[in-house]
């Protein structure tokens, strides 16, 4: 299985990428650990996580094709 992780705002700058695919991740918690392995600098920033365009606060299971976004505080308007 494969999920797509999107990086926005300052996170896109510090990771050097707008997105990355991760394979065989079971849950959001699992995914966060894998992201921190690849991009250790991410831990220094505040961000919220969305799963398929919905902000989440828990640790749902992931399935193939899911889209996860790491979003620093919004600054629109």
Partner 1 sequence: MVTNYLINGPITQKVISCFLEKMGEKTDSGGHSVFLGQVRADEINGKKVTAIEYSAYEGMVMVEADKIKATILSEFEDAKSIDIVHSTGIVKAGELSLFVLVSAGHRHQAIHACSKTVELIKEKLPVWKKEIFDDDSHEWKR
> Which residues bind to partner 1, rule: CB under 8 A?
6, 8-10, 12-13, 50, 53-54, 67, 69, 71-77
Closest distance to partner 1 from the beta carbon of 36 (Å):
20
Q: Which is nearer to partner 1, 25 or 69 (CB)?
A: 69
> Residue 3 Cβ, how far from partner 1 at the closest point, in Å?
15
* Nearer of residues 37 and 77 to partner 1, judged by Cβ: 77
Nearer to partner 1, 24 or 56 (CB): 56
Q: Which of 46, 43, 3, 37 lies closest to 23 in space, CA to CA?
A: 3
């Amino acid at each position: 299985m494969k999920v797509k992780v999107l990086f926005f705002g300052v996170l896109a700058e510090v990771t050097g990428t707008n997105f990355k695919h991760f394979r065989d991740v079971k849950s959001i918690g699992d995914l966060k650990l894998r992201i921190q392995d690849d991009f250790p600098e991410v831990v220094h920033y505040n961000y919220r996580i969305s799963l398929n365009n919905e902000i989440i606060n828990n640790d749902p299971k992931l399935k193939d094709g899911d889209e996860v976004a790491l979003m620093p505080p919004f600054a629109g308007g």
